Amino acid sequence: SSSEDEWEEMELVDTGEIKGKNVQVTVEDPGKKDFKSLWMRREVNRCIREKWENCHRVNILCYIAHLQYLKNQTLDGNFIPSLMLSTIVLENIAKLKEKYSSLCVTAQMNRKGKGVSKKKASSGTDSQIMIQGGVRDVTARYAGQFSRSDFRRRRTDPKWLARTLGKGVIRANRKRARLEDTHLQKELVNKPLPTTLSEYKNHPLYVLEKDLLKFEAIYPRPEDQKPLGVVRGHKVYPRSSVHTLQGANNWIKQARSVKEGEKPYKVVKGRPNLRVPAEMREQRYLEVYGYWQTEPYRPPKVMN
């Protein structure tokens, strides 16, 4: 409890006097922006992000190396066979040795014979790849929030991860990788549609029209196809219907030309001419087309 000495006497003020007075608020003028300091701050933040990214990549590589070490010590070495033999009675070792030696000889003879089918040969190759080991990213199988944009933003660059895991030493079996992709795809399809708009950002299966980039478009047009659902007034479309558009000159660089009579699928703002002063620049627009609006490039006939 507080004593009476802690209380401070205050003068009573009439509220009518306060209403009659004008209140003045002074705001300091920020002045011109210091672009040099902004650039320095941006560069420092970029270096910090690169440092975090490199630390995360080194951590991933260390985990991969540790897994390879454990695999070499257990599967490729004599550690597991020695543990298995230590649990067998010594009297049965001779019998097992004779039995498995005869099986090995029979298997070698069958491999050299003409009756070996291609199916058995391919299964032997697959088992050899399995024994050699491989590393594959299966985060989508265990992470419940893998489809969320903030979760994928915290992960390392997927292109770097794909290049790293595609090396010959740690590359996983392609056949099993395709089966794994099919299984993960089915799990994503069976999940219900996300309920928040942020989850559709860079979602592997669904897209909102408001999240499309400058040179992206939905084909067929949204009014010509039925949406998969509606979330807070925004229609949901499959990610497979999103295509990248390019200008006529860029299509020519890819040995394709726009068909005659084709109208641009989308019109976007073009890049300004930096050689012209900012106050004299005019807004330019670029007509972009989709792949379905092009055909293989046919050079014009040479006329004498």
Q: Is a pLDDT exceeding 50 seen at residue 173? A: yes
Output b/e per residue, 271-300; b: 16+ Cβ within 10 A: eeeeeeeeeeeeeeebbbbbeebbeeeeee
Task: Report how far apart, in Å, the C-alpha atoms of 287 and of each of 92, 250, 256 are.
Answer: 81, 11, 16
pLDDT at 208: 93
pLDDT digits (tens, 9 = 90+) for 121-137: 333 323 233 344 678 78
Confidence band for 7, pLDDT divided at 50, 70 and 90: low
Supply 284's token pair: 């330019």
d(CA 130, CA 183): 19
Confidence band for 169, pLDDT divided at 50, 70 and 90: confident
Residues 6+ apart with CB under 8 A from 297: 252, 255, 256, 257
Given the candidates 1.10.1040.10, 2.20.20.110, 3.40.250.10, 3.30.930.10, the CATH classification of the domain at 197-244 is 2.20.20.110
Read off the pTM: 0.58
Q: What is the mean pLDDT of residues 69-78?
A: 70
Confidence band for 190, pLDDT divided at 50, 70 and 90: confident
pLDDT digits (tens, 9 = 90+) for 249-273: 999 999 999 999 999 999 998 888 8
pLDDT at 216: 94
Q: Would strands 229-231 and 234-238 be described as parallel, antiparallel, or unpaired?
A: antiparallel
pLDDT at 276: 82
Domain ranges across the chain: 197-244, 246-296
Residues 6+ apart with CB under 8 A from 177: 136
